[in-house]
Amino acid sequence: MSPYGRKKSPRIVITGAGIGGLTTALSLHAAGLDDVLVVEACPSLRAVGAGINLQPAAVRELTELGLAEALDGVAVATARLEYHHRYGGLIWSEPRGRAAGYNWPQYSVHRAHLQDILLSAVRNRLGPEALVTGGRLVRYEQGREPGGEPGRHTVRAHVAGRPSPFSCDLLIGADGINSAVRATMYPDEGPPLGNGISMWRGVTEGPPFLDGRTMVIVGCNARVKAVAYPVSRPDGSGRCLLNWVVESRTDDGLGEEDARGGADWDRAVPPEEVLAHLEGWSSDFLDLHGIIAGAPRIGRYPMIDRDPLPSWTDGRVVLLGDAAHPLYPTGSNGASQAIVDARVLAYELAHHDVDEALSRYEAARLPQTTGLLAAHRRLEPDPVLRQVEALAPNGFLDIRQVLPEERLDGIKSCTRQVTGVDATALNARSSWSVAV
């Protein structure tokens, strides 16, 4: 009997019960691979984080995992993305999700609500013993197990404070941007890279704005921008949860410091610290100042990522989600890419031996996410807001008098590169579900 009450070693250990790790467990189970153990560092999975977006490519995968109804119950199907000047003028508006021709919606959702859905599905489908909390992986090693089955390649995942490691056939590192699995694979890599931009985030209860399904990006120039969108539908009193983020280039070294310590999603700051960046901003559809002042808690985080890796695989150890390819949140795509990774990996493992599956997974996902990483970096500072500020620093009555349609179209296509897949390709692609 193992120290965790399991009769034998799980064949697959996943480190991290974030969105990537939990979706991987569900995807493996759906593909008929259910000898899985998820090992999570946090002693209890608290409801932390703010709003995230799920792109249609990820919603398709969650739908095929049977989670569409649960998701639709807590999320908002985002129908539009709008860019506005800091004095309110509309720069552009475009449809999103189903309105943009995808067969699946784009969802805005509170990260904690999404994690709850995934967590209860893992507990119901794989059993409560499939998740161990309070288990921080510190390193792994692999090879033949002394005295083990002849010829069997084993990975040993060492967890802080536990006398014996977990032995498994495959270790999946889904342990986020400060992944210990990645650090074992690439011991010389060092901390994440900050770009000098700080982000203040919060979730405030309030009335919805515009049609209640629009994500807005409001901007000033290369230094300051705000993003806001509802992450729940209005309740009986007409109020919903509004997620907001203010980004500002501070270059005060705080980002670097936080990057070294890991992005702490729980560090609180007073609203005045954020409001100081929005002096003089006004808009007739969104009371940004009021929303920020009314937030029960505001967190400040550095904008960080990591350089792409040459490989995500080391023998029978593989990286996934933020551990493999952390992205700036600008493209609202980190959680979606982790979900797609999970489904591709499970699909390949169900169809091929482990080595072949890992190599196919990496060939499918590494170049794609490397391209996305570069596209995300190109979006900072935001090219739309930068150009509008240069041409109309004091605002405008009609954007077409400031920026000709063709130029706007050029910038739009650069912005779209961060969401990755176009509607026609996604709608036509065959499913990654496995018949079991």
Which residues are near ligand FAD by CB under 6 A?
Answer: 15-21, 39-42, 48-50, 52, 111, 136-137, 174-176, 180, 265, 321-323, 329, 334-335, 338
Shortest Cβ distance from residue 66 to ligand FAD (Å)? 20
Nearer CB in complex with ligand FAD: 41/224: 41
Residues 6+ apart with CB under 8 A from 341: 20, 24, 320, 321, 324, 361, 365, 369
Residue keyed to tokens 């935001």: 382
| Pairing of β 153-159 and β 137-144 | antiparallel
Q: Which is nearer to ligand FAD, 268 or 391 (CB)?
A: 268
Q: Closest approach of Cβ 119 to ligand FAD, in Å?
A: 10
- In contact, 10 and 106? CB cutoff 8 Å: no
Whole-number minimum distance, CB 300 to ligand FAD, in Å? 13
Q: Find the shortest distance in angstroms from Cβ 254 to ligand FAD.
A: 18
C-alpha 321/C-alpha 213 separation (Å) is: 27
Amino acid making up residue 250:
T
Q: What angle, 0 to 180 degrees and rounded to 10, lies between the N-to-C axes of helices 19-30 and 111-126?
A: 30
Task: Give min distance, CB of 195 to ligand FAD, in A.
Answer: 16
Query: How far apart are CB 282 and ligand FAD at their closest, in Å?
Result: 27
* Nearest residue (CB) to ligand FAD, 203 versus 392: 203
Q: Which is nearer to ligand FAD, 91 or 263 (CB)?
A: 263
Which residue number, 181 or 408, has a Cβ lying nearer to ligand FAD?
Answer: 181
Q: Which residue is nearest to ligand FAD (CB)?
A: 18
Nearer to ligand FAD, 175 or 247 (CB): 175
d(CA 417, CA 436): 35
| Residue 185 amino acid letter | M
C-alpha to C-alpha distance for 404 and 62, rounded to whole angstroms:
40
- DSSP SS3 for 134: coil
Q: How far from 32 is each of 257, 343, 351, CA to CA, in Å?
A: 43, 13, 11
